[in-house]
Amino acid sequence: MISVQLPDGSKRSFDGPVSVAEVAASIGPGLANAALAGKLDGKLVDTSFVLDRDAQLAIVTDKDAEGLDVIRHSTAHLLAYAVKELFPEAQVTIGPVIDNGFYYDFAYKRPFTPEDLRAIEKKMAELAKLDERVSREEWSRDEALKFFESIGEKYKAELIASIPNNENISLYREGGFIDLCRGPHVPSTGKLKTFKLMKVAGAYWRGDSKNEMLQRIYGTAWAKKEDQDAYLRMLEEAEKRDHRKLGKELDLFHFQDEAPGLVFWHPKGWAIWQAVEQYMRQVYRDTGYREVKAPQILDRSLWEASGHWEKYRDNMFTTESENRYYALKPMNCPGHIQIYKSDLRSYRDLPLRYGEFGQCHRNEASGALHGLMRVRGFTQDDGHIFCTEDQIQAECVAFTAQLQKVYSDFGFTEVQYKVATRPDKRIGADKLWDKAEHALMESLRASGVTFEISPGDGAFYGPKIEYHLKDAIGRTWQCGTMQVDFSMPGRLGAEYVAEDNTRKVPVLLHRAVVGSLERFIGILIENHAGSFPSWLAPVQAAVACISEHQAAYAEGVVEKLKKQGFRAEADLRNEKITYKIRALALQKLPYILVVGDKEMQSGQVAVRARGGVDLGAMPLDLFVERLSEDIALRRDVGSTA
């Protein structure tokens, strides 16, 4: 007898070996039809997998996150199947699941065209309708190698050749197509009903720029058509909000080939930067941080002592002078430890909080660069807290509260919390990692929030809390972080005099709220679609005159606004006022002030709020009061909240 325990705690008994599909059928025909895979003792398996022992089993359907991954992985294989049907000379390589979809890389003699993508997607739909069985087969490594060599699939053969000799290979067959894969996959192609091919891009074989360039076809797949439709609408909205497009339209910043991954900030973009930085500087002051500044370049010996040279060297820019090797800092923590070490510290000094708007450089691959979101030079709102073990939880709880307020002020009200645990490549003893991970989890529980675990995603020197904010169109962005580090302070010789007069090593908490200011500003641009609330807007009000006759009055209004600390500009162009208003509206300004003879004679301004809302004529002092209130409350234009 074989006993199978289900997620609800109930058990089912079978006389002999039983497949996952048969277990699903024993529960009911609805589940049997919906089953995509099984989760056997925590491991995903095909519905054809046979249980020959007692086990815990969950039936995976399209309602489960794992089920959606199985659909997407299977759709990637369906894509490869269709390509081989239409373009037999194409060679297949790899096709993994990614966020919201999948891709598959191909080698082909010419570039795939948009017409090709439409034909491939049509063929995929035809193959799915055939509802062909997807079956798993196990071959010996040598047998699989000979097979793929014989059909001219050199990339698959190369992958198989890298597998140890004594290992069996799992292959999946659907119709006339067979592919190398660990699985699992849907039981038949008929389960794949909702998918769309998105684009073609270049990709190097095995991600190595020394290898040949392949063609990567991206696609998306979903359990339900309405989910895919919502995703495609989100992508359409995201395209309108693309910070690179808006950055150019609103004259905020640019990039150029002479400085790859580095930003040229224009005056308006720099005004946004300054608004964010000065806000965060006030947060430092309000929460007990002492602002510091550490050098950009540090000797190699310091990076060796910190562990960065061994674990992070490939991402660091290095230089040499007078037979000494240096590196541009990729992180601020070693520099802050040097500041801490510059004086003898007592337990009475702890917690000691340092903050820096620290400029860092990381040697990101050129293919990974993406506007402000992924750059080589960036500035962090970086802070480090030196504390005792007993102070960790209180500091983490206080930081979470601080971060929640900051995000709310910037317009983000939903935050997701994840604890990233120890990676394979790390420093420090396991017992210290145990302490650090426990402290982070307990701090989030004390903060009253729910969180997920991200296994293996911690930094090499410590685990971390990742704070993910949700933007206006539902995307999530990981910005803030809190990391507990028991290792680096000791490696770099940081100590404090304890209450018993012994020397002890402090715990180091690495924290950032917005993270990279460049990336955070990119997120802000997209979240607000360039229509910033008044306190962040690079130009808070533009004053447009109807004719040259009011030009001096318009300039005087601008000067009065500037003297009160507002960011204002005058539009004195010799154009019709309707043209000026349209042009200024395209800049997404919070307010446009129109002045004609009537306003000039009465000492007023005619106020238009963003969105074409006519607020009528009012004394300048009344407008100043309104704008001041917008800024003080950090509210959007026209809001009464």
Single out the catalytic residue among 243, 268, 384, 491: 384
Looking up tokens 């012994």, which residue turns up? Answer: 502
Q: At 272, phi and psi to the nearest 5?
A: -65, -45
Single out the catalytic residue among 308, 362, 374, 588: 362
Rounded-to-integer distance, Cα 290 and Cα 494, Å: 18
The CA–CA distances, whole Å, from 623 to 199, 209, 467 equal 49, 57, 38
* 598: its two tokens: 């009537």
Residue 363 amino acid letter? N
Q: Is 351 left (phi over 0), alpha (psi -120 to 50) or beta?
A: beta
Rounded-to-integer distance, Cα 101 and Cα 79, Å: 12
In the chain, count of helices (H) and strands (E)? 20, 35
* 460: its two tokens: 């090499």
What 152-161 contacts at long range (C-beta under 8 Å, 24+ apart), as own/partner pairs, is 152/91, 153/91, 153/92, 154/91, 155/91, 155/92, 155/93, 155/94, 155/107, 155/205, 156/91, 156/92, 156/93, 156/180, 159/93, 159/94
Residue 276 amino acid letter? V
User: Is 510 designated active site?
Assistant: yes
371 within 8 A of 244, measured Cβ to Cβ: yes
264 within 8 A of 254, measured Cβ to Cβ: yes
Rounded-to-integer distance, Cα 27 and Cα 42, Å: 20
Find, among 72, 77, 112, the residue nearest to 215 by Cα. Answer: 112
What 33-41 contacts at long range (C-beta under 8 Å, 24+ apart), as own/partner pairs, is 34/59, 34/61, 34/62, 35/59, 35/60, 35/61, 35/187, 36/60, 36/61, 36/62, 36/67, 36/70, 36/71, 36/186, 36/187, 36/191, 37/66, 37/67, 37/70, 37/184, 37/185, 37/186, 38/184, 39/66
User: Is 380 designated active site?
Assistant: yes
Rounded-to-integer distance, Cα 560 and Cα 619, Å: 13
Residue 216 amino acid letter? R
| Beta-carbon contacts of residue 59 (< 8 Å; ≥ 6 apart) | 20, 23, 24, 27, 31, 34, 35, 38, 39
Find, among 337, 324, 379, the residue nearest to 356 by Cα. Answer: 379
Rounded-to-integer distance, Cα 500 and Cα 502, Å: 6
- The 8-class DSSP code of residue 590 comes to S
User: Is 360 designated active site?
Assistant: no
Single out the catalytic residue among 243, 464, 491, 528: 464
User: Is 362 designated active site?
Assistant: yes
Single out the catalytic residue among 62, 91, 244, 333: 333
Residue 354 amino acid letter? Y
Rounded-to-integer distance, Cα 390 and Cα 400, Å: 17
CA angle 467, 471, 476 (to 5 degrees): 45
Single out the catalytic residue among 380, 540, 550, 604: 380
* 123: its two tokens: 């063929």
Single out the catalytic residue among 382, 471, 571, 630: 382
User: Is 84 designated active site?
Assistant: no
* 78: its two tokens: 């369906």
User: Is 464 designated active site?
Assistant: yes
* DSSP line for 605-621: EEEEETTTEEEEEEEHH
The CA–CA distances, whole Å, from 403 to 139, 337, 388 equal 53, 23, 22
Single out the catalytic residue among 156, 193, 329, 510: 510
81 within 8 A of 127, measured Cβ to Cβ: yes
Active site residues: 333, 362, 380, 382, 384, 464, 510
